[in-house]
Amino acid sequence: MIGISATTTQGANWRSWAEAGFSSSYATRSWFDSTSAQLIGPLGARWQLGQHLDLLRNDLSAGGDVRQRNHRLFVSAKPYPTGSGWTLDIVGTDNAIKETVDRRTLVGKALLGRLLNWRDALSVHLEAGAIASRHTASTAERRDAGFGHRASAEWSTTTQNASDILPEAINASIRNDGDRRDRLRAHDTEWDFGSNWQWERDSLELAWGEQWSSTRFYPNPETFDDVGEQEHRRRNIRFAWHHGTSNNNRSALKSLISPFSWQVEADAGLDRNTYSSVTTDEAVAALPRDTRTTARGYRLQTSRAMGPIAADIQYRYRWVQDRFGEQRRDQTAETGEVEGRLRWQVTSRDSLTVRSIFRVTSYTAPGEENFFDDRDQAERVVEVAWWRKVSPVLTIRPIFSFRGFRQIFISEDRSANNNTDDVYLLAPEFEWQPSRIITVFERVSVRAHYRFFEFDRSDPDGRGTLYRRAESETRLGLRQSARTTWRLRYVYRYEDFGGLFDRDGWVQSVDWDRRSHLMDATLEWRPFGTLLVKPNLGLEFKRAFQHRLDGTEITRIKDEPFKRQYIGMEIRWTMNSGFVLRASLARRVQQFGSSPKDRDDRWNVYFARPIP
């Protein structure tokens, strides 16, 4: 990526900001730049000019032929005297896809507006202007022109003497956008309302939002013969109550409840899309399907701190219903979840953290014909981490975790696939800094992943598997001088994988095992304060063995070895004036056995400086 970023403040009357960049990955290259300048005139008049360009080019090729080329251009400018209340928005977009298809859409819009404010509480913005578009395909072209408008109003107020009934803050907004071109038109109305109450130890939040929109569009982007219409409806409602702890309660019930803090949140929503054809009936078949999603949920949480122990527990509930018009695949998902967390500062040097989650999601279809996909998913998580600072220079931290996932299809058609995934992890780690110049970090992790299918767990030909992995990571930091630091890392990894079945206890039949060695070394050298030079060298070996059963003997057959080497260099130069230059180069070479070497080169340059 190449990027330039700059900001500057020129006295009190002149502010400017600029950013530009280029990035490249795979076959996508994108350029962007954005500038903004504001001038404050002698009589308080303010002028603002902004511009934003976003250009993306995607060259996808196979076998040497360019298969696709995209570019996207977006330019906007806002030249207006902000103090006067007048606004002017000029926006242009250009979207093109070339090679595989030849499509281009150009849209230009200019809106002149007036901004009105009343006592800093109510602001109204009215805009109107012209809009034109051109859709081009290989054999057809369509031009549409017309006018557009945008109206928005925002109202917000705060109450100094809020009572139990009156909220402390209220904000509301309403927006209406629309345009009407020859055969195309769009209309979008949205309003949101929010309110907030604050008391001594409580807060209450209520919010409500609605949106309606309808858009006419060309479903067939090659001919533009037909016009479809999409209507969209959205509704969101949210409620949240927070209650803090109290130490001043007289009744027995209050003294029991008050040390806890409580949170209650609830929300509900609706999202609906319907499609219809404006012109011919044939277009209906090509239109997307109608969709409707309704959702509701809530969360209850309570927490308490008791000296060195802090604990909280919460329950979450979520219900989502999807409806797809005449589709067979309607579905309702319902989730219940309990999560508990405990943190115990055992001594000044020891602390213990425990976290546990239990969650079940049930998917249910309304029709008998879809019963085959009804299923439950159950998840269980237990994490225990102990942190001990043995001495000022030595810290140890053993971690244990368990994650279980169970999928249960209810119907006999699918229940043969009911399976359980259980993953156990034990990972002790320690960090030792025997002197100011040496830091040693060691982490050992052992992981076992059991997967079994519930109806064939005892079958030696079943589909159960066990994956085991043990890894040791050693990091060594050597500070040779104030300007030179060495960082060395070595990772050894053992993995094996094979069938798993239950015969009075789990039995594993190993299919393969492999051993990996990863080594890398990095030097951080600062020849002078503002320059950092960072070369890096890495090496990786992998040896794998297949296990074959010959009669009663198991033989290990060596696979082709894998080798990877990489070398890189990074230079970072930071000057007091804010000038930053960062450049990196990396080469990676890898090879499987006797296959040809695969080489990959990457480079990055980044540059930033303020505008003088």
Partner 1 sequence: MRILAVLMLAVLSALVLLTGCAKDPFSTREAEEPIGGKGTYITPVDPLIGLENLRFAMIEQNLGHYRQTYSESLLFTFDFLLVDRPDSISGWDAAEEDRIAGNLLADADSIGLVWELTDGRTDRFDDSTAFLYRTYDIAVVRDSVDTVVTQTYKGEFIIRMERDALDLWSIVGWEDLHLSATQPSWADLKSSYR
**Residues of span 79-118 touching partner 1 by CB under 8 A:** 95, 97, 100-103
With CB under 8 A as the contact rule, the residue among 154, 222, 442, 559 that binds partner 1 is 222
501 binds partner 1 (CB under 8 A): no
Length of the chain: 612
Q: Which residues contact 341 (CB under 8 A, 6 or more apart)?
A: 311, 312, 313, 353, 354, 355, 356
Min separation Cβ 454 and partner 1, Å: 8
Residues 14-53 contacting partner 1, CB under 8 A: 26
Min separation Cβ 433 and partner 1, Å: 28
d(CA 390, CA 395): 6
With CB under 8 A as the contact rule, the residue among 126, 132, 423, 476 that binds partner 1 is 423
Min separation Cβ 469 and partner 1, Å: 6
260 binds partner 1 (CB under 8 A): no
Min separation Cβ 304 and partner 1, Å: 20
Burial class (CB in 10 A: 0-12, 13-18, 19+), 316: middle
Q: Which residues contact 257 (CB under 8 A, 6 or more apart)?
A: none
Min separation Cβ 438 and partner 1, Å: 27
Q: Which residues contact 552 (CB under 8 A, 6 or more apart)?
A: none
502 binds partner 1 (CB under 8 A): no
Q: Are 2 and 22 in contact (CB under 8 A)?
A: yes
d(CA 291, CA 367): 17
Residues 346-375 contacting partner 1, CB under 8 A: 358-360, 362, 370, 372-375
Min separation Cβ 46 and partner 1, Å: 35
400 binds partner 1 (CB under 8 A): no
Instruction: Work out the widest C-alpha separation in the chain, in whole angstroms.
Output: 97
218 binds partner 1 (CB under 8 A): yes
Q: Please give the full DSSP string across 258-310, using - where no structure is assigned.
A: TTSEEEEEEEEEEEEEEEEESS-THHHHHSPPPEEEEEEEEEEEEEEEETTEE
With CB under 8 A as the contact rule, the residue among 80, 260, 453, 501 that binds partner 1 is 453
The Cβ of residue 440 has, within 10 Å, a number of other Cβ atoms equal to 15
d(CA 132, CA 486): 61
443 binds partner 1 (CB under 8 A): no
Residues 112-151 contacting partner 1, CB under 8 A: 138
Min separation Cβ 230 and partner 1, Å: 5
Min separation Cβ 536 and partner 1, Å: 15
337 binds partner 1 (CB under 8 A): yes
With CB under 8 A as the contact rule, the residue among 107, 111, 131, 408 that binds partner 1 is 408
Min separation Cβ 282 and partner 1, Å: 13
508 binds partner 1 (CB under 8 A): no
60 binds partner 1 (CB under 8 A): yes
- Which among 30, 48, 28, 51 is positioned nearest to 38, based on CA atoms? 48
Min separation Cβ 481 and partner 1, Å: 32
Q: Please give the full DSSP string across 182-211, using - where no structure is assigned.
A: SS-EEEEEEEEEEEEEE-SSEEEEEEEEEE
Residues 278-317 contacting partner 1, CB under 8 A: 286-289, 291, 296, 298, 315, 317
d(CA 428, CA 30): 44
398 binds partner 1 (CB under 8 A): no
Residues 188-207 contacting partner 1, CB under 8 A: 197, 199, 202, 204, 206
600 binds partner 1 (CB under 8 A): yes
In the three-class reduction of DSSP (H, G, I as helix; E, B as strand; rest coil), residue 254 is classed as: helix
Dihedrals φ, ψ of 149, to 5°? -145, 160
418 binds partner 1 (CB under 8 A): yes
Q: Which is nearer to partner 1, 449 or 479 (CB)?
A: 449
587 binds partner 1 (CB under 8 A): no
Residues 493-515: b if buried by 16+ CB within 10 A, e if exposed: bebbbbbbbeeeeeebebeebbe
With CB under 8 A as the contact rule, the residue among 51, 70, 136, 274 that binds partner 1 is 70
With CB under 8 A as the contact rule, the residue among 527, 548, 598, 603 that binds partner 1 is 598
Q: Which is nearer to partner 1, 177 or 322 (CB)?
A: 322
Q: Are 421 and 451 in contact (CB under 8 A)?
A: yes
Min separation Cβ 457 and partner 1, Å: 13
Q: Are 99 and 66 in contact (CB under 8 A)?
A: yes
Min separation Cβ 430 and partner 1, Å: 22
541 to 580: interface string for partner 1, x by CB under 8 A: ----------------------------------------
Scan for tokens 């609830």, then name that residue.
266
Scan for tokens 């939002």, then name that residue.
209
